[in-house]
Every structure is written in structure tokens, then in C-alpha cells.
Structure 1
Amino acid sequence: MTPSSTSPVLARLRLRSGAFLLVHRRHPMFIGTAAWSLPREFAAEFPGEGQHLERYARRLPCAEINTSFYRAHAVDTYARWASMTPPHFRFAVKLPRAITHDAGLRAARKPLKDFLAQANGLGDRLGVLLVQLPPSLAWDARVARGFFGLLRESWDGPVACEPRHASWFEPGVDRAMARMRVSRVAADPARQSEAARPGGWLGPDGDGVGALLYYRWHGSPRVYWSAYDDAWLARQAAAPAAWPAGSVPWVIFDNTASGAATGDALELQALTGS
């Protein structure tokens, strides 16, 4: 979303063809960004005193911690982040690449135990564990069952998995992920059509009730950089907003390299009335 001279969000919405194209969702929806940077052009949307996270958390209800993918954080660091946020705020925390990329989900007991001990510093602010897989990692039923079974020994909350190899998008794999209560991320850009929609665990009845629906939008056409245009956001707002009461949709904007994620999140928040 491109900033404008008054409120970057409302001004752009008023200029859009058809005036306000709101897609109201009556039930909670978590909209946020990867990390919590506040680009200068959107600073006015995050008023008040405090550090960036404190200001961010007063306006947006969630954030994704990506730095955990690259390096470990002390439990005290996670606890400090949690202390800066209101009670309703939630974090998604990305698993370390040592587990997902270097080891390919194998031999994960010790590194997974260490990671969870650290991330648990968030307390009740820990909302989701994010497992992003490398494009080269094909589906292996034995490895997946072993890893997610191990994860479930210590974590009973929502798990979102973003696979990127085509073999993960077969119907049988979807059913296997559902049995493990692992939600498949809906990504943009999608490497194939199935990747654009949530999959895996969609709740006991498969209708989204009781499940996490995790949308991860990376920016397009230039991944991590491009802002989404108004028409795209207006169209896409309907999908996460349409899930029924009892579902928990998350939308995380990962196009942070240019600062576009912040504006896109604010616009989607306005579009959905969240």
C-alpha cells in the first residue's frame, strides 16, 4: 500500500473505485507483519510513547518473529517482548533453520527442546509455531510423522507449516497433516494453486472451526519487497474474513524489505473491520 498525505489507510480506501470496499468480519482476525518495524511513512498510525513493539501492539494484534529462524533468543528476551504487549496480543515464532533446513526435520529432539524452552518465555502471548520448509524438502511420511509427533509431545497449540515442494500438496498429504493437527499455510506468491489456500488441519469437521488458518503473503511480483495493490487486497480480503465463527484466521505480511508490509496490514485491517 502506498502512503498518502493524511491517514495512509483511510485516504487510500476513499480513493479506491467503489469508495469503501469493506469485508466485515464479526469474529477475531489476526493481522500483522513479520517483525514490528514502523516505517517513517506510517509512523502516525502508531501514536503514543514507547518502543516500536509497544506502539505496534496497540494497533495490530499479532506479529511473526522471524529472527528465531537465524539465531536463538534467550528466554528473557521472549519474556521482555511479551511484557511490551497487551493481553490479547499474540506472536507466531518461526522454527530455526537448523531444524527445518539444515537437518530436514530429522534428529530434532534436542534442538526442538531448546527452541521451545526459549520461546515459552512468551507465556500466553505465544500463539503459533511456524514451520517453513525449504523448496527442496519433499514429503516423507515417516520423517513428517516423527517430527510433528515429537513437536506435539511438548506443544499442543497451533502449528502452521509452509511447505514449498510440490509433493506436499497431494490430497493424501493433506489428510496426513490434518491427522497431526498441522495447518498448511496459504502463501502468496503460491508455487501452485493449492498453495494459495489453507490446508491440512481445518478443524474436526474440516470447516475451519477450531482451527488456525494462516495466510502468509510475501509480496508480489517482487517477493519480500513489493506492496500489494489496492485491487488485490480488496479481492483477497474476502478469503480470510469468510471463515466462520470459531476459526482463527491469521494474515501475516512478509513483504518487509521495503516497509510495505506495515501499510498492507493496516489496509487489510481497515478493509475487514478487524
Structure 2
Amino acid sequence: MSGVFIGCAGWSIGRDHWPRFAEQGTHLQRYAGQFSAVEINSSFYRPHRPQTYKRWAESVGADFRFSVKLPRSITHGRRLKDCEGLLDDFFSQCSNLGDRLGCVLVQLPPSLVYDAPVAQAFLQAVRARYKGALALEPRHDSWAAAQACMQRLHIARVAADPAVLSAGFEPGGWAGLQYWRLHGSPRIYHSEYGVARLQALARHARARSASEYWFIFDNTASGHAISDALTFQTEFSSLLNPSSNSVP
């Protein structure tokens, strides 16, 4: 599915799911045999060596993509101000993924209110360093005012479940990219989505045309992310290729 990236937050494979993956290889290699993408959240908490990113890139196929989360030292520590050096450090590290770097995710703290000069300078600084897919996850309603800036810079607003914005569980910003983060609801990180909800999500996302889609399942605490992601992969593929389901 070109332009469609489906996977989980991290590549851990619970023992219950082992039969659905290859027996040989590292966890990442086995995971990448079934999925097209993964979201790296550990980069939010600590830097990774360039060699580590390079090793990860070499472990996956040519069509596999990583989404990498911007460090909290930038978003939560500096709160987007005076962070040019930290941005340089981050991109010098994750750029070692090469063309396997598919998206950069910027998650903001809930307390961060939109300040137009600060926000626009920051987003322009990020965009100057990275030309690929860029997704912003604001968690304060004041960021609705950033819509025009995000459209101009081709930055998508994340659709997160459970929703924290009054706009609800909807993508925003630049319409060319949709980035969905599925944490599980009603019990965050635990609840299973199940077939009916995943079918509804697939139809809803497909109704809003985009050139690139990301669906990341983070309901990992009770082990449902893998099965939900595999199910959703099948459901979304059937919408993109309806003829493949027809009986000759």
C-alpha cells in the first residue's frame, strides 16, 4: 500500500502473537516482516546514537518507514524556544535512518498555549531541517489558530484517540498527510478496538483523501496493538483495492 504506513508504537511482539511472525531475526526484523511502519517513542526520552539509527534502517526492507518522536527536551523543556542546537542534534542522529525516515512527530505538552511568534519560528526551524512528513500533536485548543501556518508548511495535525482537543478525533493542519495515533479507548493504552471500530475508522479516514496516511497503534499495555494493527491493515487495504475482494 504505497503512501499508507500502519504499525505500532515500538516493535515489541508479545508471546501470544509470535505465531503470526517469522521465527528468525531480531524483534525489529520480525516485526517489519508484517508491518510497513513503526513509531519510535524512545527518542522522546533519550537520544540514540547515529549508529543505532543506521543499524535499525539496515534491519528493514526498502519500503519500511520509521516515525521518530521529537525529544521532550525541546517540546517540554525548552517549550519550543531557543532550541536550534537541540534540533540540530536530533536531526543529525535520526537522519542516519536515511530514506527509512518517514515522519517526524512533534508532541506538545497540554499546558503549552499557542504563541504565534514562538510557534511559527519553531515550526519553520523544524521544516528548514527536515523536508519530509511532519506531524504535530498539540494538546491545547489554542493551537487551532496555527491552522494556516501548518497548511503553509505542510504540517499535519495528529488525530489522537482518546481525543484531547475539542475538535475531537479528527486530523487537521495540512490535508496531504493524515497521522492517526490510536492509544485505545475508553481505557487508554489497554482497550482493544476490535473489527467493527477498525472498519469504521478505515472508512472514515479513507473518506478524507490524502497522499500519505499513518496509523499507529499504541494500545500496547494489554497487548492489543499488534492484533488491532494487523486487522486494520487488512481492512484499509480492502478499501484501497476493492476488486481484490471480489469473486471472479
Q: Judge same fold: TM > 0.5, yes or no.
A: yes
Partner of 1:254 in structure 2? 218
| AA aligned opposite 2:221 | A
- Describe how 1:141-156 pairs up with structure 2 within 5 A: 141-156=116-131
Change (3 A) 1:217 1:247: same
The residue matched to 1:196 in structure 2 has which SS?
A: coil
1:98 is matched with 73
Match of 1:137 in 2: 112
- Matched residue of 2:33: which SS? helix
SS at match of 1:134: coil
Cα deviation, 1:51-74, whole Å, max 9, x if unaligned, reads: 110011111000000000000000
C-alpha deviation, 1:230, in angstroms: 2.8
CA distance in 2 between partners of 1:39 and 1:112 (Å) = 34
1:159 aligns to 2:141 (yes or no): no
Which whole-Å CA distance do the structure 2 matches of 1:40 and 1:242 have between them? 36
Alignment partner of 1:233 is 2:198: yes
Q: How large is the Cα RMSD of the aligned pairs?
A: 1.5
Residue 224 of structure 2 aligns to which amino acid in structure 1? A
Contact 1:187 1:217 in 2 (8 A): yes
Matching residue's letter, 1:263: S
- C-alpha distance in 2 between matches for 1:257 and 1:137: 27
Report the count of equivalent residues: 238
Is 2:182 the counterpart of 1:217? yes
Find 1:125's aligned residue among 96, 100, 110. 100
1:199 to 172, 175, 178: 172
The answer (yes or no) to whether the contact 2:141–2:166 under 8 Å persists in 1 is: no
Gaps of 5+ in 1: 1-25, 203-210
Is 1:269 matched up with 2:242?
no
| Percentage of matched positions with identical amino acids | 49
Decide whether the 8 Å contact of 2:114 with 2:142 is kept in 1.
yes
After TM superposition, give the deviation of residue 228 of structure 1 in Å: 1.3
SS at match of 1:225: coil
TM-score by length of 2: 0.91
Normalising by structure 1, report the TM-score: 0.83
Distance between the aligned counterparts of 2:28 and 2:117, measured in 1?
40
Of structures 1 and 2, the one scoring higher in RCO (CA 8 A, sep 6+) is 1
Q: Is the 8 A contact 1:145 1:180 kept in 2?
A: no
Alpha-carbon offset, residue 50 of structure 1? 0.1
